[in-house]
Amino acid sequence: MRKVIGAVAAAAVALGLGTAAHAQQTVKIGVLNDMSGLYADLAGRGSVAAAKLAVEDFAKIDPNLKVEIVSGDHQNKPDIGSSIATKWFDNEGVDMIVDVPTSSVALAVSQVAANKNKVFIGSGPASSDLTGSKCNANTVHWTYDTWMLANGTGKAVVKTGGDTWFFITADYAFGHALERDTSEVVKANGGKVLGAVRAPLNTSDFSSFLLQAQSSKAKVIGLANAGGDTINSIKQAAEFGIVKGGQSLAGLLIFSTDVVALGLPTAQGLVLTETWYWDLNDNNRAWTKRWQKEMGNKVPTMVQAGVYSGVLHYLKAVSALKQSKDGKAVVDKMKELPTDDTLFGKGSIRVDGRKIHPAYLFEVKKPSESKSAFDIYKLRATIPADEAFRPLKDGGCPLVKS
C-alpha cells in the first residue's frame, strides 16, 4: 500500500547552487489513491507521476524546498483510507494528502486532515459535499465535482433537443446524488424526467434495466453511475441496439481512460463533461509527453492533471508561508494566492475550498474522425469558470457564513 517513491527533488536541491543547509525546509506529500482497483487507471500511479512532475517544476521556482513523495493504496475503502491517512499524519510526518478518488474515502480523509490540522487536496473524488455540507478549512476540492458534471452534461444535452430523460442509477449515495443533481438541471432547462431505475452497484448485467429505459421512450438515457458500471451499461446498450434505435446515452461521469477502454466504435457520440483533456492545447500536449515518459503509452486523465496542478499550487503556498505544519494556514494561503499553471490556466480557490476553472463539453469522436488511438474527443462547448461550478451560496458550507 505504501511505497516511498523517494526524494524526487533531492537531486535538484542538492545541486541548488550552494544554498545554505539551514535554509532548507522539507515537505512530505502523500499521494493516496486506488493503485490496483477500479480507479487505478484514471488515478493510480499516473497521479504519482503527475505529482513528481509538479515537484520537478516547482524546484525551478524555489530550490530551497525539499519535497518528498510517498504513495498509498486505499483500495476504495473508507476504513483503509482513513487508517493510512492517520498513520501518515501521526507517524510519518506527511503534511498533505492529494488525489483520493472515490468520494466515500475522500470524505473520510478530509475529516482526518481537519482533525490533525493537515491539508487535503481532492483531485479524484466527485461528491460536491466536500465543498458543501461537509466542507472544512483544511480541504481543497480541485478538479471536478458532481454538480459540475450534472450541470455541464445535463444542460448541454437538453439544449440540443434531448428533453426527455430516463436514468439508470447506481443504487448508492453517489448515484442518487448524481441523479438528483442532473434531474434538477434537466427540469430547470425545460426538460422532463420520465423515470429512473436503481441498479445495484457492480451490476454485471444491465440488459433488463436497459430494456426498461428503452420502453420508457425517453430520448436520453442518463447513466448516473461510474467505472465498471458505466462501461458495462454502454457496452450492453450497443449490444441491444439502443443507440441505433434512436435513443442517446449521456454518461454523467466518464473519463478519457474509460472511453479508450470502450473503444470508439462503442463509445462514439457520447456527450460528457471534463475539465481537462490532453489534446486541448499545446501546453497539455507538451505535459502529456513528459508524463508519458514515466507512464508509457497511456492517456492521462483530468484527475492526474489535477494532481499536478494542485501539488504545484500547494508548494507555492508553503514556500510563501515558509511552513507546512499548520494545515489551515497553508490552505488559507492557497485561497489567497491566485492559481496559475500551464494545465488549468489562471483560476482561484473559493472560501469553501472549491477550485474554480472552466469546464469543457466533449463529444466522443466517430472512429472515422479519429487520427490516433488517443484522439477521442471533439470540443462542443466551453463552460466559463464562473458558470461551471455550484454557486457559493447554494452549497451550504458552514465556512461561507463566517
Partner 1 sequence: MASATETITAPVTAASHRSELVAFAIMAAFFVVAPAFMYPIFLMKALCFALFACAFNLLIGYVGLLSFGHAMFFGWAAYFCAHMLKEWGLTPELSIILATVAAGGLGLVAGALAIRRQGIYFAMITLALAQMMFFFAVQAPFTHGEDGIQGVQRGKLLGLFDLSHEMTMYFFVLVVFLAAFLLIYRIIYSPFGEVLKAIRENETRAISLGYKTERYKLLAFILSAALAGLAGATKAVVFQLASLTDVHWTMSGEVVLMTLVGGLGTVFGPVVGAFIIIAMQSYLAEFGQWVTVIQGVIFVACVLLFRRGVIGEIAHFLKIRL
Partner 2 sequence: MFEIFGIPSQALFGQLLIGLINGSFYALLSLGLAVIFGMLNIINFAHGAQYMLGAFAAYLLLQLTGIGYWPALILAPIIVGIIGIVIERTMLQWLYKLDHLYGLLLTFGLALVIEGVFRNYYGSSGQPYQVPSSLAGGHNLGFMFLPNYRAWVIVASLIVCFGTWFVIEKTRLGSYLRAATENPTLVRAFGINVPRMITLTYGFGVALAAFAGVMAAPIYNVSPQMGSDIIIVVFAVVVIGGMGSIMGAILTGFSLGIAEGLTKVFFPEASSTVIFVIMAIVLLTRPAGLFGRG
Residues that bind partner 1 (CB under 8 A): 1-3, 35-36, 73, 77-80, 82-83, 86-87, 91, 102-104, 107-108, 111, 171-174, 200-201
Q: In the complex with partner 1, which residue's Cβ is closer, 134 or 313? A: 134
Q: How far is the CB of 6 from partner 1 (least distance, A)?
A: 14
Q: How far is the CB of 177 from partner 1 (least distance, A)?
A: 10
Q: How far is the CB of 35 from partner 1 (least distance, A)?
A: 6
| 124 within 8 A of 47, measured Cβ to Cβ | yes
81 binds partner 2, rule: CB under 8 A: no
Q: Which does 356 bind (CB under 5 to 8 A by kind): partner 2, partner 1, none?
A: none
199 binds partner 2, rule: CB under 8 A: yes
Q: How far is the CB of 258 from partner 2 (least distance, A)?
A: 9
297 binds partner 2, rule: CB under 8 A: no
Q: How far is the CB of 182 from partner 1 (least distance, A)?
A: 19
Q: Which of residues 257-276 bind partner 2 (CB under 8 A)?
A: 261-263
Q: Which does 146 bind (CB under 5 to 8 A by kind): partner 1, partner 2, none?
A: none
| 316 within 8 A of 309, measured Cβ to Cβ | no
- How far from chain centre, in Å, is Cα 216? 32
Q: Which residue in 26, 117, 212, 292 binds partner 2 (CB under 8 A)?
A: 212
Q: How far is the CB of 353 from partner 2 (least distance, A)?
A: 30
122 binds partner 2, rule: CB under 8 A: no
Binding piece for partner 2, criterion CB under 8 A, among 12-20, 116-124, 205-213, 381-389: 205-213
Q: How far is the CB of 228 from partner 2 (least distance, A)?
A: 6
Q: In the complex with partner 2, which residue's Cβ is closer, 36 or 133? A: 36
Q: Which residue in 117, 207, 342, 348 binds partner 2 (CB under 8 A)?
A: 207
Q: Taking the CB of residue 293, how many other CB atoms lie within 10 A of it? A: 10
Q: Which does 40 bind (CB under 5 to 8 A by kind): partner 1, partner 2, none?
A: partner 2
Round to whole Å and give the CA distance between 395 and 399.
Answer: 10
Q: How far is the CB of 248 from partner 2 (least distance, A)?
A: 16
Q: Which does 232 bind (CB under 5 to 8 A by kind): partner 1, partner 2, none?
A: partner 2
Q: Which does 48 bind (CB under 5 to 8 A by kind): partner 2, partner 1, none?
A: none
204 binds partner 2, rule: CB under 8 A: yes
Q: Which does 205 bind (CB under 5 to 8 A by kind): partner 1, partner 2, none?
A: partner 2
SS (H, E, C) the chain: CCEEEECCCHHHHHCCCCCCHHHCEEEEEEEEECCCCCCCCCCHHHHHHHHHHHHHHHHHHCCCEEEEEEEEECCCCHHHHHHHHHHHHHHCCCCEEEECCCHHHHHHHHHHHHHCCCEEEECCCCCHHHHCCCCCCCEEECCCCHHHHHHHHHHHHHHCCCCEEEEEEECCHHHHHHHHHHHHHHHHCCCEEEEEEEECCCCCCCHHHHHHHHHCCCCEEEEECCHHHHHHHHHHHHHCCCCCCCCEEEECCCCHHHHHHHCHHHHCCCEEEECCCCCCCHHHHHHHHHHHHHHCCCCCCHHHHHHHHHHHHHHHHHHHHCCCCCHHHHHHHHHHCCEEECCCEEEEECCCCEEECCEEEEEECCHHHCCCCCCCEEEEEEECHHHHCCCHHHCCCHHHHC
What strands, in cross-sheet order, belong to the sheet with 139-141?
3-6, 65-73, 25-33, 96-99, 119-122, 139-141
Q: Which does 172 bind (CB under 5 to 8 A by kind): partner 2, partner 1, none?
A: partner 1
227 binds partner 2, rule: CB under 8 A: yes
Q: How far is the CB of 231 from partner 2 (least distance, A)?
A: 7
Binding piece for partner 2, criterion CB under 8 A, among 58-66, 177-185, 200-208, 337-345: 200-208
**Single-letter amino acid code for the residue at 308:** Y
| 363 within 8 A of 380, measured Cβ to Cβ | yes
Binding site for partner 2 (CB under 8 A): 36-38, 40-41, 171, 197-200, 202-205, 207-209, 211-212, 215, 227-228, 231-232, 235-236, 239-241, 245, 261-263
